[in-house]
Amino acid sequence: MSGSKNIDLVFLQSMIDKTEPGVKINSYEIALGSKRGDNYTSMLYRIQLYGENGWSKSLIYKCLPDNRQARNTYKSEILFNNEVTFYTKSFTALMKYQELKKLVETFNSVPKCYLAQSDIVILEDMRCKGFTMLDRMKGLDFNHCRAILRVLGKFHGLSLSMKVDEPDKFKECISDAINEVYYKSENELWYKGYYRQAAENAEKMLEAELTEDEKTKYLDKFRKFVNHESFFGYMVGLVSPKESLAVLCHGDCWTNNFLFQYAQDGSISEVSIVDFQWARYGSPALDLVSLLYCCTSVELRKQYLPELLEGYYDSIVSVLTQTDCLNHYPDIRQKLYEEVREYNVFGLGVALDMIPIITCDSELAPDMYTEDTINMDDEPSKEPYPVMTTSNLCRQMIADLVKELVDNGCLT
């Protein structure tokens, strides 16, 4: 196996000794942990450990791409370091706070982390507990979306509570520790062309999908939205934390970053959240609109959006009630509704990038596992380029979203 760290029995044994002392590892096997198009900016492997007396354990090994061009293009080191900070500092602090408060309904939807350092993250393999990943092209139905939003409500609610009870610790471990890794002003030159191309691709799809009458109503408003002096700079402004509701956000809410476990009757019993490379401190609405506008259909939103959002709000309120912090957030439902509406356009900005990624065939997605064949001293880093797909599904999802936001008065 390639990777940033040489895996051997000594390394694996030293890691297991910290969590399961007395277990002796005899052998291990390594396989790819994901398909092309299912993850970006890193490589995933599955390591199966075998020990004495029939003991075995499966782990997910996440590392930087060996291909240095891919690492530089997608700024993998920065993203990776952000995830390491999440596991070693921010999430650890949040879980200690939860333990201290002795919640009845706890948040336990993040896989156990065995190791997190600059170039490696090793996690428990949730597949061994029966968790599975949905088909990214099919999107989320009502039940799966509702389950995710309830879990996000718990996650966000812990931030709001800890910010009240332990403000200094919260500042040290979360609001000052987690930094925006993508939408920040120093990335503008790097991603300006990327977003310009993504907007142009979306405009072409709208021109193909909309009728002539619809173009008059919707296309001009879309062009106005993407033709800010700097579209990327506009997105930078939207992610800036705004109190009092700013929380530790997942930052990359799309189908592949949520795994599901099912009961015998087929109902969803648990949700597991993975991939915190884009974790940020900002409005909880940033997570919500990304998920809703990239991973659900317009039909689902029209029929169920109020019910879905109520489930999310109830989940947040449940946490705040258990931590005795609800009185610090008067009118929280109204304020959260207002932020979701305010950040709808952020969801559209993310969707211009993510919907082509979600709907593209695997061979069109960046390949993180290609070998490093270039001399980085001789060849400059390549700027990123958005995934190109003009599938019927992609065109329809983008057109539906633009029409929905215009009709709702969010895109003017």
Report pLDDT digits (tens) over 129-187.
999 999 998 999 999 999 999 999 999 999 999 999 999 999 999 999 999 999 999 98
Both tokens assigned to 72 = 């530089």
Q: How far apart (Å, rounded) are the C-alpha atoms in residues 275 and 180?
A: 15
> Would you say 160 and 316 are in contact if contact means Cβ atoms under 8 Å apart?
yes
- Is the pLDDT higher at 206 or at 189? 206
Both tokens assigned to 175 = 């609001």
**CA 191, chain centre distance (Å):** 19
The predicted structure's pLDDT at residue 18: 87
Q: CB count, 10 Å around CB of 399? A: 22
The predicted structure's pLDDT at residue 214: 93
Nearest to 231 by CA among 101, 371, 342, 352: 352
Name the range with the highest mean pLDDT among 14-18, 19-23, 250-254, 379-383: 250-254
- Sole residue written with tokens 């970006």: 40
Q: How far apart (Å, rounded) are the C-alpha atoms in residues 21 and 316?
A: 38
**In the predicted structure, residue 4 carries a pLDDT above the cut 70:** no
Nearest to 401 by CA among 297, 331, 291: 297
- Sole residue written with tokens 């299912």: 38
The predicted structure's pLDDT at residue 65: 77
**In the predicted structure, residue 322 carries a pLDDT above the cut 60:** yes
- Is the pLDDT higher at 94 or at 232? 94
pLDDT single digits (tens) 222-238? 998 888 667 888 899 99
Dihedral, 255, 274, 68, 33 alpha carbons, nearest 10: -80
**In the predicted structure, residue 365 carries a pLDDT above the cut 90:** no
Q: CB count, 10 Å around CB of 116? A: 22
Confidence of residue 379 (pLDDT cuts 50, 70, 90): low
The answer to which of 277-281, 294-298, 370-374 has the lowest mean pLDDT is 370-374
The predicted structure's pLDDT at residue 409: 93
Residue 15 burial by Cβ neighbours in a 10 Å radius (0-12, 13-18, 19+): middle
- Sole residue written with tokens 């993180």: 368
Nearest to 121 by CA among 239, 39, 29: 39
Q: How far apart (Å, rounded) are the C-alpha atoms in residues 324 and 326?
A: 6
The predicted structure's pLDDT at residue 192: 81
Handedness of CA 167, 168, 169, 171 (dihedral sign): positive
Q: What is the model's pTM? A: 0.91
**In the predicted structure, residue 376 carries a pLDDT above the cut 60:** no
Using a pLDDT cut of 70, give the percent of the chain over it: 89
The predicted structure's pLDDT at residue 7: 82
pLDDT single digits (tens) 101-128? 999 999 999 999 999 988 899 999 999 9
Q: How far apart (Å, rounded) are the C-alpha atoms in residues 308 and 289?
A: 12
DSSP conformation letters of 360-373: S-GGGS--TT----
